[in-house]
Amino acid sequence: MRYSYSYSSSPRSLAVEHNILFLRGFTILFLTCIAIRLDLGLGLSSIPSSLKSLPLGGHLNFDELSLRNAARDFGNRYQYHPMAVLHPESVSDIAATIKHVWLRGPSSHLTVAARGHGHSLQGQAQAHGGVVINMESLKVPEMQVHVGNFAPYVDVSGGELWINILHETLRYGLAPRSWTDYLHLTVGGTLSNAGVSGQAFKYGPQISNVLQLEIVTGTGEVVNCSAEHNGELFHSVLGGLGQFGIITRARIVLEPAPAMVKWIRVLYSDFTAFTRDQERLISSENTFDYIEGFVIINRTGLLNNWRSSFNPQDPVQANHFKSDGRTLFCLELAKYFNVEEIDAANQEVEEYLSRLSYISSTLFSTEVTFVDFLDRVHVSEVKLRSKGLWDVPHPWLNLLIPKSQIQNFAEVVFGNILTETSNGPVLIYPVNKSKWDNRTSVVIPEEDIFYLVAFLTSAVPSSNGTDGLEYILSQNKRILEFCQRAQLGVKQYLPHYNTQQEWRAHFGPQWETFLQRKSVYDPLAILAPGQRIFQKAITFS
C-alpha cells in the first residue's frame, strides 16, 4: 500500500481544516442521535448474534479461553473480560466492527479496545463486556521497505512487532532511529504512548519519527493522515492513548544501520555529577548514540554481576571497589559503529569518557551486535520466564520530571522513600524537549530538558514484605504524593488515573484540545475504555 497526498500547510488552509473539524464534530454528534434510533431498543443480549453476523475476512472469538487471555496484560493486576475478541484479517474487519458498534449507539454499552502484545500495565487494552481487537493478527499488507538516498522509510502494520521490523529493515542495511528498551511491542501500542528509550535525546521518541498513519476512527472511518494531510488526526493519535483511533498502518523513518555497538557502564556516587554529565552528553553534537542511567540501592556484588557480560577496564581497581552501602548511579552508554570503524570508534569513546566524572575503577564495557544490543531485554525475559518470574504483577511507575526539580526529587525519593532496587531497575535519564512535537497528544513537562524516571519493579506473589505488591503500591503512592505536595511539575508517562478530574489535571491546558479531538474522532467514547478517561455516551460541550 502506498500513500499519495496533496500537501498544503498555509495559515489559511490550516484555518479551513480547523473549521471543517468543528463542523464535522457537530455533524457526528447529530448523527449519533440517528444511530441511537437505529439501535431499535435492542438489549445487550442481542449483541453476540449481531456481531456474529458481521461479514469479516477474519473472525470473532467468543470462547472462554480467548476472552480470558484478552483480559490479561503485563501489569497482571487488572482483568476485565470482553464479550468477544476480533482477530482481523484486514483493516476492513476492524472498520466494520467499529462501524457496527457506532451504529448501535450508546445504549448498547459496547466498547472497543485495540490490544497489541498485551504489555499495558493497568488494563488499558481491555474492554469489559466489549470487543478486544487482537492487533497482532493484522499482518497485511506486508512490510514494505523504501530504500531512498534522501529519506528511507518502512510501511508496517499497526500490529507488527518492533523486533520484526528491525530484522526486516536490516536486510536493506537500514533500521528505525528511535526505539523502546523492549522490542517485543506493537507499533500501534508504542505510538499511542510515545515510545522512549536512550536514543530519545537525539531523535526524540518514536512518535517524532513517523511520516504517515492509517487510522480507523471511533466511527469506523478509515483515514490516511500525516502532518500535512489530515494533520489534526495525525497529531491526535500520536501519544493519544488510543482515544481517537486505532493505528492500522504506519510509515516509520529509517536510517543506515550499524553492525556493532560498544556498550559501556560506569558508576557515580554523586548525583549532581551524574546528572551534570548526562545533561552535558545529551546537549553535545558529537556524543554517544544511546544514553540512559539507573539507580542502585543496597545492591551488593553488582560489579561481579556485570563481569558475566562486561569487561572491567582495570580489573585490579574494580576488585577493590566497595560500595559501602552507598546509593550509586550507573551511566549506561552506547556507541554504534561498523567493523571497519572500530579504531575510530574506540578513539571517540575514549575522548567522550575523558570529559566525565565517574568513579574511574568502575568502567566496564563490551562489544555486541546491533541486534543483540537493541534486543537485550528479551534475554532477561527468557531467563525470567524459565524461573516463572515473568508473569507476576508489575506495578510500574513512570514519571517525567523537569530538570529544575530532579535534585529535589532524588534527595527525597532515592534518599528516603526508596530503600532498595533489587526488585527491578530504576531508570533515570534526560531528554531534550526540542525533539518532541507539541502538536501530539502526549503530555510532557514545560522545561527544555526533563528526565524519565521509571520504577520498573516486579512483585513477588503472596509476599507481605518489601517485594510484595501492596508494599510496592504503597511506595509508588508515597512518591506521587510527594511530587504533588512539592509541586514538582511531574507528569506521568503511561499515565493511569481513576477519575476525569485527575485526567484534567494531567492534561492541564491541553485538556480542552484533547476533549475537542475526542468529540470529533470518537464522539461516543467507544475506543480504549481501559484508559478510564471517558465513559461511553458522554455528552461533549
Residues annotated as catalytic (active site), given as ranges = 119, 181, 292
Interatomic CA distance for residues 371 and 279, integer angstroms? 27
Cα end-to-end span (Å), the chain:
38
> All 3 cell numbers of residue 416?
528516603
Q: Determine phi and psi for 292, rounding to 5 degrees.
A: -135, 180
The phi, psi pair for 381, rounded to 5°, reads -60, -45
* Distance between CA atoms of residues 322 and 319, nearest Å: 8
Query: Which residues pair with residue 295 across a beta bridge?
Result: 329, 426
Instruction: Tell me the C-alpha distance between 200 and 193, whole Å.
Output: 14
List Cβ<8 Å contacts ≥24 apart for 432-439: 432/201, 432/204, 432/282, 432/283, 435/200, 435/201, 435/202, 435/203, 435/204, 435/205, 435/208, 436/204, 436/205, 436/208, 437/204, 437/207, 437/208, 437/235, 437/238, 439/227, 439/231, 439/235
Q: Are 183 and 375 in contact (CB under 8 A)?
A: yes
Sheet strands (E) in 204-345: 210-217, 222-226, 245-256, 260-268, 290-296, 311-312, 328-337
Beta bridge partners of 249: 157, 214
Cα 408 to chain centroid, rounded: 26
Alpha carbons 433 and 448: distance in angstroms, whole number? 5
Task: Give dist(CA 129, CA 113) in Å, integer.
Answer: 11
